[in-house]
Structure 1
Amino acid sequence: MSKRIFFPVLFLWLMVIVSPSAAQQKADTTYTFRFVQKKGMFYVPFENNSRELTRLIKCIESNKSDIANGQLPLYVDGYCNSLNSEAKNLATAKIRANRVKSELITRAGIKEENFITRNHATEGDFVTVRMTVPVKETAATDAEAEARRKAEAERLEAEKRAEQERLAEEQRKAEEARLAAEKAEAEKAAQQNTLADTPSETKITNDYHLSLRANLLRWATLTPDLGLEWRICPSWGIAVNGSWTSWSWSDKDRRYALWEVAPEVRYYMGEKKAWYLGAMFKAGEFNYKLSDTGKQGDLMGGGITAGYQLRLNKALDLDFNLGLGYLNADYEKYEVIDGVRVRRGNETKDWWGPINAGVTLVWKLF
């Protein structure tokens, strides 16, 4: 009879001893809050943040007295690895952890001293809150917690792979853009080299040293005109034109005679060296008797010239030019009486305005 009483009493006593020990077993419960890459703002509706926050607040309320007296601290870990330096990642992780703690302080009525915080520049863009709560108070079993941790690890791994693939794609595109730019630069350089090796229109037009010139306007007035131009270089040239004529009619009562020499220095402009500006000097003598009174004397002056050379072919150009400046003419008047010239006085005239005009055929000798 005593044995029958002893064993039940012993069993009950062991249950009393073991039960508090079993009740004191604790398990970690982790809550994960996701963040947008490179951002520190805590968006509650983002992904599963709202559900996790509801679960965490419920757990805090169930263990609030232990949390308040410091027996059950909340371990907060902030993570960030989406920025380009460890310092920036740690700073953003700290901001994220503080945002989550502020949300819990506001909603669950706990204090800063109830948290133990750490920040990490690794793994991803999230914040975890971990509580070591008694097993009897934890709704999830160990198997569920393990499954959740495994699922979270798989999601983090998938996000990490996606980020690596994105970075690899960006690097591939950047490399393609760099190769395309190098190819375009090489093609441009090759084209420039080809143009440099191929005689261009500019070179064909101006690659000569000496040319023969004839002012067609002068020839149209029966005043033969010839000249030469020496191109010192593509931009500079020295030209000289000369005109001479001598005509008489009406039994020598009418006369048209002159000679002129006009040296000129030119500066050619533009890519094709077709436009130019120049400085001209002109000197000569004349003898005009187109009415009863004739004029015979000399002239001298100079001015600024401008023109354009139009390429006709490899050997010929047309030179359109105009000169503006000053001419001085000293001459004497005369009449012819019985075949004898009779002087009728002297005159001097100054002229400001056009002093030269030409449509000149240029024949490039070499």
Structure 2
Amino acid sequence: MNRLLTLLFALGLLAGPTFGQTADNPSDPAPAEYTFRFVAGDDMFYVPWSGNGEELNRLLSCVEQHKAAILDGGIPVEVDGYCTSQATEGENLVMAKTRSNRVKTEMILRGGLTEACFRTYNHAAEGNYVTVRIVIPSTPSEAELEAQRKAEAERLEAEKRAEAERLAAERAAEERRKAEAERLAANETETVPPVLEEARDEAPEGCAMGLALRANLLRWATLSPDLGLEWRIGSRWSVGVNGTWTSWTWSGVDRRYALWEVAPEVRYYMGKERRGYLGVLFKAGQFDYKLSDTGKQGDLMGGGITGGYQLRLNKALALDFSLGLGYLHADCAKYRAIDGVRVRCGNETKNWWGPVHAGVTLVWKLF
């Protein structure tokens, strides 16, 4: 052990004249550089050896002074690792990287930095050491600061002038529009008849009288084709009807899903754009469901209040979102299928209060 310490001490004396240290006054605007020496062929960072401890204290003192700017990314910390004691260039680069990481670990654990603060470069040349370079930006002089303040004040003043000119131009344009409107009103000699005026007010674009084809996409999603028509008899009122029909049989005759339904509706459209509406719905139909051992076949009838909103896609297409609440009455016969023959096994009557309609309907305006 004594021989090893003696050898390390001798190597330190030999390396001392070779590697100089750069002065690092923390307030100096020039970059601060620090050098840490490593034993040839060894990647361990011996802090007490060859002045590394004093150099590390100087580095940590500089880091502490500029820590906030370093963590924010304003001051980069450049770490360069060097190694030439290995047999190949690849081995030298690997050891240089390990040495750089040893030094960075000290700055992370003792200086509070993170890996994101560093720019690391490794070299297979020039010796066995690691340098740390902290690029501290220069402090602007009072004259430079005054020039910057003056430029900023001029920029703000120019922005204020531009904003004032913009507001003045907008006021002038508004006054011209008002003057033109007053001139047209004064020169108008013919008045629009009240009935036509009311009709024009109540017929925004896309809401005038016309015929539209409808398809409830929720019905189609349950394999129940659904089509309907809606006739706008005014800008606010419409009448329509939707019809649904489906018939599915599988597993022989053991499973059945069949339905037909007719649902007329009257709607009143509200608001300036006539998109939202309230309506009255009536529906009647027949069903035949056998999704388990017992099937149900019968009639249904009911109705309720509907409400919804139409989302316009373009001049011809729109999506109609609707929901109806009300009452449904159903009378049905229960049956079982025995050797392909339906055998009646009872009757059932149901009365339902609640949701009676839901729709996401594609509307295509024909004319």
Q: What TM bracket, shorter-length normalisation?
A: 0.3 to 0.5
More helix by share: 1
Name which one, 1 or 2, has greater alpha-carbon Rg.
1
